[in-house]
Amino acid sequence: MRTPSSGRVILLNGASSSGKSTLARRLQDTLDIPFLLLSGDLLIEARSLPGRRDTEGPHPWVGQMRPRFFDGFHRCIPAMAAAGNDLIVEHVVEFAGWRAQLDELLSGFDVFWVAVHCDLAEIDRREAARGDRTPGEGEHGPYDLHVDTTAGVTDDLVRTVVDSWKDARR
């Protein structure tokens, strides 16, 4: 429900380790107005979810809490924007249903979707270096812009996102 004081949303979607976090931080440094960063990873890193209690098998929260966690995460985006916050949202939209839910929840808001791509070999290298990821894919369009971070998040790439976002607002 866009009002003159509603925040704007730049939503970065791509596979795990595709460069979304780096791009999000660089956008925050480059945009001429402050944008808050929202990310499921940030909530997990803040220990909002319980830690693992066993050493084998899937994390106990996967089947029970994960759907509720992401439903809540999706719902917090329009709440933060409705409060007037400009947002950079970093996400792996794993399912077409998640994209549909986000489109519905964010209808009426100024949302700019960015598809963050990276060569699979580079994603594999990054995930191996991180050691805390399993391959993921988020490719449920449409997008306002596609970027490729295989060669890294360069100044030119950041400027392309900022300029494209500004041009789309005119």
Q: Which domains are delineated in the chain?
A: 8-168 (3.40.50.300)
Looking at the annotation, which residues are catalytic?
41
Distance CA(25)–CA(93), nearest Å, equals 19
Q: What are the tens digits of pLDDT across the range 14-64?
A: 887 788 999 999 999 999 999 999 998 888 777 776 665 566 655 666 677
Q: What is the pLDDT of residues 77-128, one digit of tens each?
A: 999 999 999 999 999 898 899 999 999 999 999 999 998 987 777 767 777 7
Q: What is the pTM of this model?
A: 0.75
Using CB atoms within 10 Å of the CB of residue 134, give its burial: 0 to 12 exposed, 13 to 18 middle, 19+ buried: exposed
